[in-house]
Structure 1
C-alpha cells in the first residue's frame, strides 16, 4: 500500500532544517543571506522569484525577507521551535530533532505555531489590512467558522467572518466608501493568503470556491482550542435553571475535566442559549469565581480549572445576570473518557427553551409565559412586540434543538 502524500509544507520544513545542518550565518538584520536564499528557493521549490524581470528591467532582490514563501518557511520553523538564532547563526533546535522524524509531529508543531507567525503570513505592505493588525482574532474567527461547519464553507463567508471580527475593533463609519472598499479588499486578500498557507499544510481542502477542514486539520483545530483528545478525562455535567418549571430548563453537557471556569462560562451560555450580555459568577464551595474586577471580589476564573475544584457527584453554582439573577445548579454526574470523533464541549441531552434575556428572572419568566398564553391579558400585545413575534406560537417554552445547541458550542471562540 502506498504511503499517503505528505503535505508540501511539512516536506519543505523538514528539508529546510536538514539543509541548515550545523548552522548558517545570517545577515546583520537576522535574515537568511541572499546566497543561501538562492539555494533554498530552488531546493524547496518555494516559487519565489529572485531578481524579478519586468519587461526590460531587472528588479534586484535586496533581502531574503522579500521572498515571501521562503521567509514564511524560515519564520514558521523558528516559531515551531525547530530552528533558532544563536550568535547570528540559524541553527536547528537539538532537543526537537526527533520531531522531524515524524510528519504528524511536524504538522502538529507547525499548526500550534500558527498564532505566532502573523508577520510572516501577512507581511506589512503599502496597503496593510486590519486582519494583519488583529491577526490572532482573525485567525480564531477563520478557524472557528471552519470548525463549526459540517460541510464546505464558501470562501466569501470566511472572508466575511474575518472582516466582521477584526473590523469590530475599529470605528469605520466615517471612512469614505472607496477607502472602506480598499480595506475590505486588502482584508480578503490576506484571508486568501492564510487559506493558501493552510492548504500547503494539508489542514484544509478546497473544492471550487468553498473550503473545509481536512481530518488532520479538524484534529489540529480541536487541540488549538484546548479540546479533549481521545482518552482524556471528560466531565458530564447536568446544568439546570433553578426555580424554572413547566417546563424545566436543563442541559447535559460533556466538557474536558480540566476546563477553565471562563471556558465553562462560555459553554453554559451557548448550551442554554443565553447571549452573554450580563455579568456572571461561579460559586464553588463558598468561593466566588469570575472576571477579575476592582469592584467585585472574585477569584480569577481564568486561573481555576474545573477538575481542581469539583469531583464526580459534587455541585457548583453559576449565576448569570445579577439583575434577573438566573441561578444554574451544576452537578458533575460522572467522569468519562473522551471518544474519538467527538468534539468537546458536547451537549448530549436537554429540555426546555432558554428564557428571553431581561424578562425579570424566574418570576418574570412565569408571568411572561402566562401572558403569552392569554390574549385577554393587557400586556399580551406588548410582549409580542418586545419579543419580535407575530403570534404567541412563535415562542415555545418546551423547544430544545440538540443539533443547533452543538452548532453553537462548536462556534465558540477560544
Structure 2
C-alpha cells in the first residue's frame, strides 16, 4: 500500500472539485466527466491518476474518466455527500449545501458519514470485482468499529479478514474451488486496502508498519457514526443467560448504551450468543410481548420501546428465540456504569459456553446431540457429524468461548 500523501488531502480535493463544477459541467452520455475535463482535473486536483499509461513498450489509451480511479472517487464522494448532483446531462452544484465548502469541520463530517455509500462507485467491477463492492457499507462499518474498539494500531491483514467475513456472509461459497476463493480473497484484500487508503486521504486513519489506526478526528467521527455514547454517558451491564442449558452453562456479560431500543437489543443478543437470526423472536416483560409488528400476532412494536422503559437495575426481561426450539434467554440488568473513553459499545466483557446449533431441537435436542457427539460408537454419531458438517466429533466443544469472536460479531450488531 502506498502511504505517500497526495498533493491535496481529500476534503481539499473535493472542495476544489465542487468549486470547479461551478454553475454546471457537461457530462458524457453515460453520465461521466468528459475525458477532456478529466485530464484537466487530474492536474488541478493532483490525483496522480495516469492518463494513457505505458506498460512495457505499449501505450494504453485512456478511453473514459471512469478508468481514473482517484478522480472517480472524488467525483462520486462529492455526489454521495450531496455537494453536487447529476441533472440531465450536466453536473451541478447543490446550492443549499454550498455553505459546507467554507466550514471545514462540517465538510469533513459530511464526507466521513457518506463514505460507506461509495463501494460500487469506486471499487472495480467485472472480472476483478470483489464481494466487498456490494457489501461495502456493513463491512467498512465493521472495520471502523473494530479500529474504534481496539484503540490501537490493527494489522491491515486483520482488517482484511473482517471485511472478508462480513462481505462473504450473505453468499454460499461451499462449492467454490480453491482457485476461485483465492481470487475472491485477493480482490477483497485489494479493495479493503483501497478503502483504507481513501480514509487515510480524508485524515480518518494513519498507517505504520502495515497497521492502521484511527486518528483523533477519525475516532470522533466513528463515535458519532456508530451512535457510541460519550465518555460518562450511562451504560447498562447485562447478563444474558440461555435458560435450561447447564453443562456447561451458556451466558454473556455485555455492556451497551442505556438508551438501546429493543430491536437493537435483539441484534446484540443474536451476535453475543452466536445465533444466526434465522427465526422469529420476542421480548416478554411479564405482561406484554415485543417484536417485529405483525397484524396476525399480538406484538407491540419493539422499535418503539427502549430497554430502560421496561427494566431497571436488578430487573429481568425474557427473550425468546425460535418459537419451534423455544430458546429462552434471561436478560438481567446487573448495574448501570459510565461509558469510558476509548471503548466501543456494545462490548462483551465475559462469558461461558458455545451457542447451540440452530434447529437442533431446543434444550432436550441439544443435550441429546452433545451426548451423541461424545460417543463415537453411537449409532447416530455419523449422521450428527454430517448434519453439522464436521469430520470429527472432538471439533464440537460445548465449552468453547472466545471473547474476541463475540466482540467481532458485535461489530455488526
Q: CA–CA distance in 2 between the matches of 1:234 and 1:409?
A: 23
TM-score by structure 1 length?
A: 0.73
Question: Which residue of structure 2 aligns with residue 154 of structure 1?
Answer: 155
1:408 corresponding residue in structure 2 = 407
Structure 1 residues 10-409: aligned runs within 5 Å:
10-54=11-55, 57-229=58-230, 234=234, 236=236, 238-239=238-239, 241=241, 254-268=255-269, 275=275, 280-284=281-285, 286-291=287-292, 298-299=299-300, 301=302, 303-306=303-306, 309-310=309-310, 316-320=317-321, 323=325, 325-331=327-333, 340-346=341-347, 353=352, 357=356, 404=403, 408=407
CA distance in 1, matches of 2:181, 2:243: 49
Residues 232-271 of structure 1, C-alpha deviations (whole Å, 9 max, x = no match)? x6453554659899xx998775533442323212434566
TM-score (norm 2): 0.73
Distance 1:305 1:203, change over 3 A: farther
**1:178 & 1:33 partners in 2: Cα distance?**
38
Q: Which stretch has the larger CA shift, 84-93 or 66-75?
A: 84-93
Deviation at 1:317, TM superposition (A): 3.4
Q: Distance in 1 between matches of 2:178 and 2:331?
A: 50
> Shift of residue 328 of structure 1?
1.7
CA distance in 2 between counterparts of 1:157 and 1:409 reads 11
Q: Give the distance between the partners of 1:8 and 1:225, measured in 2 at CA.
A: 24
Distance 1:80 1:275 in 2: 36
When the two chains are superposed, the root-mean-square deviation of aligned CA atoms in Å is 4.6
Q: Can you give the 5+ residue segments of structure 1 that lack an aligned partner in the other structure?
A: 368-377
2:385 corresponds to which residue?
A: none
Q: Give the Cα separation in 2 of the matches to 1:319 and 1:153.
A: 37
**Secondary structure of 1:227's partner?**
coil
Question: Does structure 2 retain, via aligned residues, the 8 Å contact 1:144–1:411?
Answer: no
Moved more, 25-34 or 191-200: 25-34
1:374 alignment counterpart: none
Superposed CA deviations along residues 152-183 of structure 1, whole A, max 9, x for unmatched, are: 22222222332233234333343343333223
Secondary structure of 2:330's counterpart equals strand
Distance (whole Å) between structure 2 residues aligned to residue 182 and residue 238 of structure 1: 42
CA shift in 2, pair 1:77/1:347, >3 Å: same
**Cα–Cα, structure 1 residues 353 and 129, in superposed 2: closer, same or farther, change >3 Å?**
closer
Q: Is the 8 A contact 1:346 1:406 kept in 2?
A: no
Deviation string, structure 1 residues 177-207 (Cα, Å, up to 9, x no partner):
3333223222222222112112212222211
Q: State the 1:129 CA deviation.
A: 1.9
Contact 1:83 1:91 in 2 (8 A): yes
Q: Tell me how many residue pairs correspond in the alignment.
A: 387
**How has the CA–CA distance of structure 1 residues 276 and 92 changed in structure 2, closer, same or farther, with 3 Å as cutoff?**
same
